[in-house]
Amino acid sequence: GAVVSQHPSWVICKSGTSVKIECRSLDFQATTMFWYRQFPKQSLMLMATSNEGSKATYEQGVEKDKFLINHASLTLSTLTVTSAHPEDSSFYICSARSPGHNTGELFFGEGSRLTVL
């Protein structure tokens, strides 16, 4: 299957700092990527849809100024958590569709665990 890679896998930061998470499609081009957040023992929650070359579409309740998304190329989308606070600690996951695979099949990154102290 197609490969989506995230970096870093885990990060610990101090409250008030910003953290950038990268999501790359390694063997295909992704015009659209999705960013999710998952708290312990809970399901995935869609945060935003990242569109290459245009602004991201955020889900209701997600602060766009806090969670900055940039999709500058067809293989890279970044999520920056600005002025992180302990309540932002979570597992962040990105996904993308690959044109060469089953229509509708989403490929997910390994996830990035953020811990804000």
Residues engaged in binding other proteins (CB under 8 A): 1, 4, 6, 32, 34, 36, 42-46, 49, 91, 93-95, 97, 102-111, 113
Q: In this structure, are residues 91 and 100 in contact, taking their beta carbons and an 8 Å threshold?
A: no
Q: How far is Cα 43 from Cα 25, in angstroms, rounded to an integer?
A: 23
Beta bridge partners of 92: 37, 112
Q: For the CB of residue 26, give the shortest distance to other proteins in the complex, in Å.
A: 14
Q: How far is Cα 96 from Cα 68, in angstroms, rounded to an integer?
A: 18
Strand ranges inside 9-105, DSSP E: 10-13, 19-25, 32-38, 45-51, 57-58, 67-73, 76-81, 90-97
Q: Which is nearer to other proteins, 14 or 41 (CB)?
A: 41
Q: Which is nearer to other proteins, 24 or 97 (CB)?
A: 97
Q: Which is nearer to other proteins, 61 or 104 (CB)?
A: 104
Q: For the CB of residue 23, give the shortest distance to other proteins in the complex, in Å.
A: 10
Q: For the CB of residue 83, give the shortest distance to other proteins in the complex, in Å.
A: 25
Beta bridge partners of 13: 116
Q: Which is nearer to other proteins, 63 or 110 (CB)?
A: 110
Q: For the CB of residue 1, give the shortest distance to other proteins in the complex, in Å.
A: 7
